[in-house]
Amino acid sequence: MLYHLFDSIGYSVPGSGVFGYISFRAAMAVFVSLLISLWFGGGIIRLLRRMQVGETVRDLGLEGQLSKQGTPTMGGLIILSATIIPTLLFAKLNNIYILLLLVSTVWLGLIGFLDDYIKVFRKDKRGLAGKFKVVGQVSVGIIIGATVYFHPEIRTRVEIPEVLADQLDPASLHTITEEDGTVHWMLDRKSPNTTIPFVKGNEFNYSSLLKPFGNEARRYTWVVYILVVIFIITAVSNGANITDGLDGLATGTSAIMVLGLGILAYVSGNIIFSQYLDIMYIPGSGELSVFIGALLGACIGFLWYNAYPAQVFMGDTGSLALGGIIATVAILVRKELLIPVLCGIFLVENLSVVLQVSWFKWTKRKYGEGRRIFLMSPLHHHFQKKGIHESKIVSRFWIVGIMLAVLSIVTLKLR
């Protein structure tokens, strides 16, 4: 909003020229987001407490668990408001990447809100039926996948030899001239490409998955791509939801992932950095840094209240949206194959539940008695059962998350 305001008047107001820089607007988004979450967060918590929007806790035999009974939930409203408001203020609202993130944030936040609402006000511990959650996540996946695949503004740009420039459509060509006069020819492409971490020449085209079925099958690449996007968004969204089980765990690990994605988005949307690092340049994606800055500030501000002992829980309102946003950003910057590394915490938490349930059912059929791999799932509860205090578990998960984020960023050059 402010960017468009100052742009429309030609930056005639002294000092307004800084709004033309992504780095300034991203920094302002972080600052304003922190202010909103810290200043208004306490008021929202008091409102939730007055409305008796408290967490209902089942006794699972975990230390300190029953003390959380009645703690306000639906605190994800703090994260969502502290993310959306700065984005509306500082981002280019006609940028397709920003629009996609706003849609996924509001849509997944609404699904989580309905789930929390049913649990709290309808007194139904099951919440929103699982099939409706899946339908909502699939809907977002279809919107994101179809838009990325078909929208004309979403393209990647690669350098090509000068000898090929004369053979291509001039409308799709761009040039970069260095100070020494060297000219680089850049070609805009509309293709379903992504990045394979740790591999030289690390681009992967989803159409190659249909190669065994002949060239005619490649016309259906869009179906494959959308299915992949649906799977990623659903998996990461549920992973964040499962991880949200200890004070500050989901919030802190999400903030680390968001920071890592912010760096990846900035360099992918900057032609100088992308050329230096020899990575895929995605025109317009640098604007994601503004949204990511707002989300990072929101997570850190929420952590002020969510750190042990938590004064508020984010609930599904926050966790489903957080996971969906992280997945969407990774897809938009063509780093979705890096998710198992960057979102390793979510992946392990998800796997611990799948393995526990699968092993229990299989052993019950085979031996007539269900057996368990972990003392309890998700994984963070396994460590609680071992007698480790939850604040120490959370701190150690953060440390692992930082290591995974650093490793993800290192993949820009480690091939």
- pLDDT, one tens digit per residue, over 99-155 is 999 999 999 999 999 998 898 888 777 788 888 899 999 999 999 999 999 998 888
> For residue 200, what is the DSSP state?
S
CA 262/CA 36 separation, integer angstroms: 20
How sure is the predictor about 328, in pLDDT bands with cuts at 50, 70 and 90? very high
Least confident of 33-42, 59-68, 166-175, 194-203: 166-175
Helices and strands, counts by H and E, the chain: 15, 5
How sure is the predictor about 304, in pLDDT bands with cuts at 50, 70 and 90? very high
pLDDT of residue 50: 86
Residue 65 corresponds to which tokens in the numbers above?
Answer: 């668990």
Every domain of the chain and the residues it spans? 2-155+190-410
Sole residue written with tokens 């929208």: 151
**φ, ψ for residue 214, nearest 5 deg:** 95, 165
CA 273/CA 355 separation, integer angstroms: 41
Give pTM, 2 decimals: 0.91
Average pLDDT, rounded, for the chain? 87
Buried b (16+ CB within 10 A) or exposed e, 215-243: eeebeebbebbbebbbebbbbbbbbbbbb
Which residues lie below 8 Å from residue 379, measured CB to CB, with a gap of 6+? Answer: 348, 349, 352
CA 201/CA 415 separation, integer angstroms: 9
Angle (deg, nearest 10), helices 22-50 and 76-90: 150
Q: Which amino acid is located at 358 in the chain?
A: S
CA 161/CA 214 separation, integer angstroms: 29
What is the mean predicted confidence (pLDDT) over 258-280? Answer: 87
How sure is the predictor about 171, in pLDDT bands with cuts at 50, 70 and 90? low
Contact 47, 58 (CB under 8 A): no
How sure is the predictor about 276, in pLDDT bands with cuts at 50, 70 and 90? confident
How sure is the predictor about 60, in pLDDT bands with cuts at 50, 70 and 90? low
Q: Is the confidence at residue 22, as pLDDT, over 70?
A: yes
Sign for the CA dihedral angle at 114, 379, 229, 406 comes to positive
Contact 262, 289 (CB under 8 A): yes
Residue 127 corresponds to which tokens in the numbers above?
Answer: 């919440």
Contact 285, 357 (CB under 8 A): no
Residue 233 corresponds to which tokens in the numbers above?
Answer: 């968004």
Q: Is the confidence at residue 225, as pLDDT, over 60?
A: yes
Residue 283 corresponds to which tokens in the numbers above?
Answer: 């025109």
CA 328/CA 311 separation, integer angstroms: 29
What is the mean predicted confidence (pLDDT) over 246-270? Answer: 93
CA 112/CA 318 separation, integer angstroms: 7
CA 59/CA 65 separation, integer angstroms: 7
